[in-house]
């Protein structure tokens, strides 16, 4: 039970992704495709599914299938590491819609579900449902295999939806679904409940279509990170020299993306990274991988004196880490830099011995223990006077007093996200999540059910 609660609450806004990647697939057999207008296309009569997701403390059952022969579906963790969504979504909070396609389908079909997540998690400080920049967590699962399905993701400004009253908050019995909201010119009869005069969602202003994820990407029995990075085309491109570098590379992987101010998805990109969920880790070892999803790190090395990102783990006490005990997380356990690249991948799994679970610390650079002022050593478990920052990038949530969340005998992946020089005002609330920090995930976990 404790491990399940950690997956839901111990990650940065883990529950904000609840509502279900797998739930989209369960609904894609609906005969209302959302591609062609139907006779009730002007009516907002789509009822939201009940949301028991992150508030349901029941233990999820393993995906064994009815006859023991059904393959275990891929497990997916989402990381929202985009830099900017332009002036129409200054908060950077997004909700997600999907279209799906099998080998026998003539075209992609937009899901008839509400944009996900469709509720605000209990205890969250978010004003409306969504996934903020700098957060991540596991997607729920229906138990259905994903391997044979191609997926076309859409990201929607959560603010634009909230202005139209599409919040899915408790008590809201009906809300427009993805196949309505993404339909050209869709406005419900009588107008949107939040603002009856509001216009239909505009492509490349209120929502953006991202690149297709081919069928066969999410293989059965595997664990993946699905990451989002980049900027929309209407991002302010005049914010100092090299702003394009803050957005990451162009979609072709060459050169820095420089937004031109026009409409478009810019270099917003979905990347899929497989984690090592099969290598056996002894009870005297901890398995670790690392991913760099911060394009700003490389950009600002020379400008603010950042050292290379060479993550390491070691021990310490309440006063801080013991530098002599640190061992590199990079390939082969060495001090290799983990750079940001156009298609990030996780470093190979490294097994580290000598890690003491209730004394563990994670640092951004093995030699320096820190990368400039923005980074501080992060305790990997609760010790007196130290917040376990890797697991709990949270607002308004309670941190357990005695949990040892990273332990020997298991494998974990740490993801670097954020900006060493965050936007003005990024000191509190959602803005603080744009500052550079780490997210920590288990490589093996039971996803919460999509119900």
pLDDT digits (tens, 9 = 90+) for 103-119: 999 999 998 888 888 77
pLDDT reported for residue 315: 87
Average pLDDT rounded to a whole number, residues 274-285 = 96
Does residue 392 form part of some domain?
yes
Average pLDDT rounded to a whole number, residues 64-79 = 74
DSSP helix/strand/coil, 332: helix
Instruction: Decide if pLDDT at 126 tops 70.
Output: yes
Give yes or no for a contact between 112 and 24, defined as CB atoms under 8 angstroms apart.
no
pLDDT reported for residue 164: 92
Per the structure, the count of domains in the chain is 1
User: Of 169-173, 214-218, 324-328, 408-412, which range is least confident?
Assistant: 169-173
For residues 263 and 389, the model is more confident at 263
- In this structure, what DSSP letter does residue 265 have? -
Question: Cis (ω within 30 of 0) for the bond into 117?
Answer: yes
At residue 356 the predicted structure's pLDDT band, cuts being 50, 70 and 90, is: confident
Average pLDDT rounded to a whole number, residues 243-256 = 82
Does residue 421 form part of some domain?
yes
Does residue 345 form part of some domain?
yes
Average pLDDT rounded to a whole number, residues 121-143 = 81
Q: Residue 312 belongs to what H/E stretch? A: strand 312-317
Does residue 294 form part of some domain?
yes
pLDDT reported for residue 62: 38
The range of the structural domain enclosing residue 338 comes to 285-442
pLDDT in tens, 3-26: 322 222 222 222 223 233 333 333
Taking 3-state DSSP, the helix, strand and coil percentages for the chain, each rounded to the nearest 5, stand at 15, 25, 65
For residues 361 and 110, the model is more confident at 110
For residues 429 and 60, the model is more confident at 429
Instruction: Decide if pLDDT at 418 tops 50.
Output: yes
DSSP helix/strand/coil, 290: strand
Average pLDDT rounded to a whole number, residues 237-251 = 70
Entry pTM: 0.80
Give the rounded percent of residues in the chain with a pLDDT score beyond 70. Answer: 68
At residue 163 the predicted structure's pLDDT band, cuts being 50, 70 and 90, is: very high
pLDDT reported for residue 143: 83
Does residue 385 form part of some domain?
yes
Does residue 412 form part of some domain?
yes
Q: Residue 161 belongs to what H/E stretch? A: helix 158-163
Instruction: Decide if pLDDT at 217 tops 80.
Output: yes
At residue 292 the predicted structure's pLDDT band, cuts being 50, 70 and 90, is: very high
Does residue 215 form part of some domain?
no
User: What are the tokens at 44?
Assistant: 């907002």
pLDDT reported for residue 438: 83
User: Of 7-21, 296-310, 428-442, which range is least confident?
Assistant: 7-21
Give the rounded percent of residues in the chain with a pLDDT score beyond 90. Answer: 32
pLDDT in tens, 174-206: 467 899 999 999 998 888 888 989 999 999 999
Q: Residue 223 belongs to what H/E stretch? A: strand 223-229
Does residue 154 form part of some domain?
no
Give the sheet arrangement for strand 109-110, strand by strand.
Answer: 109-110, 94-101, 150-157, 207-209
Q: Which residue has the tokens 């396609």?
A: 101
pLDDT reported for residue 450: 65
Q: What is the DSSP string of 171-207?
A: T--B---HHHHTSTT---TT--SS-TTPPPPPBTTTE
CB environment 181-216: b (16+ within 10 A), e (fewer): bbbeebbbeeebbeeeebebbeebbbbbbbeebebe
């Amino acid at each position: 039970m404790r491990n399940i609660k950690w997956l839901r609450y111990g990650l940065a806004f883990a529950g904000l992704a609840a509502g279900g990647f797998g739930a989209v697939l369960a609904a894609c057999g609906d005969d209302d495709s959302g591609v062609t207008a139907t006779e009730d296309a002007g009516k907002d009569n789509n009822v939201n599914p009940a949301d028991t997701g992150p508030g349901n403390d029941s233990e999820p059952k393993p995906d064994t299938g009815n006859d023991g022969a059904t393959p275990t579906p891929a497990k997916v963790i989402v990381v929202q590491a985009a830099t900017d969504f332009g002036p129409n979504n200054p908060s950077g909070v997004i909700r997600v819609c999907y279209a799906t396609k099998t080998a026998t389908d003539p075209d992609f079909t937009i899901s008839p579900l509400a944009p996900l997540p469709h509720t605000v998690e209990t205890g969250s400080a978010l004003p409306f449902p969504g996934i903020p920049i700098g957060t991540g967590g596991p997607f729920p699962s229906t138990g259905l295999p994903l391997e044979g399905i191609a997926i076309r993701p859409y990201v929607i400004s959560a603010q634009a939806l909230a202005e139209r009253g599409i919040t899915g908050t408790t008590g809201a019995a009906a809300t427009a679904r993805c196949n309505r909201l993404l339909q050209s010119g869709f406005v419900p009869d009588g107008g949107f409940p939040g603002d009856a005069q509001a216009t239909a969602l505009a492509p490349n202003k209120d929502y953006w279509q991202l690149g297709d994820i081919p069928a066969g990407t999410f293989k059965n029995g595997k664990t993946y990170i699905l990451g989002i990075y980049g900027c929309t085309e209407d991002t302010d491109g005049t914010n100092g020299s090299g702003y394009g570098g803050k957005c990451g590379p162009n979609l072709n992987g060459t050169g820095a993306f420089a937004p031109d101010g026009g409409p478009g998805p810019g270099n917003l990109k979905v990347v899929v990274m497989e984690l090592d969920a099969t290598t056996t880790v002894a009870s005297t070892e901890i398995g670790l991988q690392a991913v760099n999803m911060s394009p700003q790190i490389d950009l600002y090395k020379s400008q603010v004196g950042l050292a290379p990102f060479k993550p390491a783990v070691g021990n310490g006490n309440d006063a801080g880490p013991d530098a002599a005990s640190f061992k590199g997380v990079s390939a082969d356990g060495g001090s290799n830099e983990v750079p940001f690249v156009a298609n990030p991948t996780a470093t190979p799994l490294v097994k580290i011995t000598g890690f003491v679970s209730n004394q563990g610390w994670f640092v951004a650079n093995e030699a320096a223990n820190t990368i400039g002022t923005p980074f501080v050593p992060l305790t990997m478990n609760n010790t007196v006077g130290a917040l376990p920052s890797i697991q709990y990038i949270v607002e308004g949530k309670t941190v357990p007093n005695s949990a040892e969340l990273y332990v020997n005998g298991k494998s974990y992946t740490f993801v670097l996200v954020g900006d060493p020089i965050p936007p003005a005002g990024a000191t509190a609330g959602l803005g603080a999540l744009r500052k550079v920090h780490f997210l920590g995930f288990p490589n093996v976990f039971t996803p919460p059910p999509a119900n």
